Every structure is written in C-alpha cells, then in structure tokens.
Amino acid sequence: MQTCFAYVGSYTTPDRRGRGNGIDVYRVDRRSGAFHPVQRISQLENPSFLALSADGRCLYSVHGDRTEATAFAVDQATGKLTLINRQSTGGYNPVHLALDATGRHLAIANYTTDSVCVLPVRRDGSLGPYTTLTMVGGELGPHKPQQRGMYPHDIPLDPQGRFFYVPCKGGDCVISYRLDARRGVLVETSRVAARPGAGPRHIAFHPRRALAYVLNELDSTITTYRQNRRTGKLTPFHVVRSTPADFTGYSTGAEIAVDRAGRNLYVTNRGHDSVGVFAIDPAKGTLAPRQWVPTHGRMPRFFTFDPAERFLYVANQDGRSIIGYRIARDGRLAPTRIRVSVGSPACIVFSGL
C-alpha cells in the first residue's frame, strides 16, 4: 500500500490571529486515519491554501494577506518538502489556486484586489511570472461590510478540465473562465447572478453529471446549478439552507465538496461549527439534509477526504485542531479518536493517491 502524506497549511500572522507554524507534513496511517509528524516548514507567512500536482512531485501554496505563491518539490519517499521558488500573484491576498488539466498553468484568485492570474509551471515545477492580470469587475452586493469588492474566493477547474469557476463573494455572482494557454491569461466566458447578499464562496462539481453546487457564505445556503459543458454557463434551480432550520444564530459557510460517487455533498458552517451532510437526489441532483455533526472546534474553515474516502478531516482554524470522522456507506459521519493539534489550520491536501 502506497504511503500517504498530508500537507497542512495554516495562518501564521498576528493580523489573521494566526497561531500556525507554516506547512506541517504528516504521514497518514491509511487504516486508522491517524497523523504522524514528518516535517515542519516554518518562516512562511500564511500558507493558507495548497495544491498538489497530479504526479505528486510538486506542492504549491498561496499566502493569505500577502502577494505571492510558492512552489515546493516533494520527496515522494519521505513526503518532505524543499523550496523551489516564489512568484508574485499580481494582487493582494491570494486565497485559492488550481492547476489546469495539463499541469502547466497555475490559476490564482486574488481576493482583496479583485483579480485572477495564471502562473506558468516550468518543467522543474518552478513557477514563472504571470504575463497578464485579469481584473474581476461587476456590481457589488448589498452587504456593505462584507461586499466592498468583488472578492473572488475560489478558482477550481471543472471535472472536464475546460473551465475555471470563480465564486465572487462581494459581487454575488459566479464567473466561468477559459484558459488562453498561448497568452497565459484567463478569459471570461459567462457569469451567473446569485441572490443579493448571498456571498458565493466555494463551488463543487458532481463527478459525472453536469451539475455544480455553490456554498454561499453570507446567507448560509447552497445553490444547485445546471452546467452547460460547452459554454461553461451555470443555471440555478434549487436552494437549501446549509444549517438546520431551527438554528437562529450567526453562521457563515466555509467549504463544500461532493463525494466520489456523487451521492452526498458536505459543507462546513462557521458559527454553527458543524459539518452538514446532504443527500444528492439521483434523478434531479437536488439536495436534502441527512445530518449535521459538531466539529469540536471553532471556525471549521476547511475539510477534505482522505484518498480512499474512508475519512473526512475538518480543519478548525480557531480550534487549533484537525478532527477526523469515519464515513459510513450512506455518507453519514461517525466520530473517531482522530484529533491533531495544529495552530490555525486552513487547508489539507493528501499525496499518495
């Protein structure tokens, strides 16, 4: 059985109330789901979101409230990281990144300065400079404190490898882009409006059907969209709450993902401090709540599955912990003894897929 490693990015700076140490590397026991420390890459500021190359040889990081991306080489035998280089993202507070289908371009969303860029990935895994910065513009939403800019918050590639999608928290819209590889620039192909004040944050895709699901941060809802795979256009047709109907406190949506079978969707709620599990209707693609489980820590900013989808791991940013749950056959979550103490965790990625 191939060795599995986990890479955990964190917030480190006082302005983000960061208690993290940089990037922590762990060896993961595939049977028990336990994490065992391997390495710590310190002296990094807010390596808050990570992406691993398809061959597992390189890891990339953006740095929250900073202006750069970093490339690391991965020793696939030990899991250890070695710095390759850094490049500017052309904007402030890069919050998300994703590789294109070829692995030769890295797309990045700059949250605070409303832009997206593409960094070329060289043969040795190093990052080259961007050529053209794409500004993200549009009408802003009504929530004055939280929608002062367009705030592009996510930039994943769809499963067909054709379009990058950017939910804009401040602009109440989701924009699709295609990559012009020759010029190294993202070109807008379509956009869809969300409900005013919804604050679209992250997007996930059904693994087989032309469906997308957007977690709206500000009103704690999930919108289901049909996807036109030829044009990239999204069309909304269903909305559900991400928190229980009887919850009346303040909460914001954080992360969203669909399991590999396309049967269940998961979200984290900050404030309610929970993971929500939703069944995906096999005929319609709509969502129905199955379960909410407590995250046993504050501010569950991120979660992900292990490579075998036996476990789900939640990164509690203010809880300074990663909590593991076992995934049942029906998608429901069960508690385990998995608990990792780590300062201000913001992202987890796994190698050894």
The answer to whether residue 277 scores a pLDDT higher than 90 is yes
Amino acid at 57: R
Q: How far apart are CA 271 and CA 180, in angstroms?
A: 40
User: What is the CATH code for 49-301+317-336?
Assistant: 2.130.10.10
- Size of the chain, expressed as the number of residues it contains: 353
The secondary structure of 164-228, three-state, reads EEEEECCCCEEEEEEEECCCCEEEEEEEEECCCCCCEEEEEECCCCCEEEEEECCCCEEEEEEEC
Mean pLDDT for 179-200 is: 98
Mean pLDDT for 190-195 is: 98
Percent of the chain with pLDDT strictly greater than 90: 98
The answer to whether residue 218 scores a pLDDT higher than 70 is yes
Mean pLDDT for 306-314 is: 97
Q: Which residues pair with 268 in a beta bridge?
A: 275
Q: How far apart are CA 192 and CA 237, in angstroms?
A: 12
Reading the block at residue 104, the tokens are 């030769």
Average pLDDT along the chain: 97
Contact 306, 350 (CB under 8 A): yes
Q: How far apart are CA 98 and CA 347, in angstroms?
A: 13
Mean pLDDT for 328-353 is: 95
Q: What is the DSSP letter of 133?
A: P
Strand order in the sheet with 164-168: 164-168, 173-180, 185-193
3-state DSSP call for residue 246?
Answer: coil
What does the pLDDT look like over 111-142, one tens digit per residue? 999 999 999 999 999 999 999 999 999 999 99
What does the pLDDT look like over 235-244, one tens digit per residue? 999 999 999 9
The answer to whether residue 352 scores a pLDDT higher than 90 is no
Mean pLDDT for 59-84 is: 97
Mean pLDDT for 271-292 is: 98
Who's near 278: CB < 8 A, 6+ residues apart? 222, 240, 264, 265, 266, 267, 287, 288, 289, 290
Give the angle 294-296-302 at the CA atoms, nearest 5°.
80
Q: Whose CA is closest to 321, among 334, 340, 302, 305?
A: 340
Mean pLDDT for 283-289 is: 98
Model confidence at 21, in pLDDT bands (50, 70, 90)?
Answer: very high
Q: What pLDDT score does 1 carry?
A: 53
What does the pLDDT look like over 32-43, one tens digit per residue? 999 999 999 998
Mean pLDDT for 285-299 is: 98
Model confidence at 311, in pLDDT bands (50, 70, 90)?
Answer: very high
The secondary structure of 257-299, three-state, reads EECCCCCEEEEEEECCCEEEEEEECCCCCCEEEEEEEECCCCC
Q: What pLDDT score does 2 carry?
A: 72
Q: What pLDDT score does 3 carry?
A: 87
Domain ranges of the chain: 1-44+302-316+337-353, 49-301+317-336
Q: What pLDDT score does 353 carry?
A: 59
Token look-up 């103490």 returns 341
pTM to 2 decimal places: 0.97
Q: What is the DSSP letter of 127?
A: B
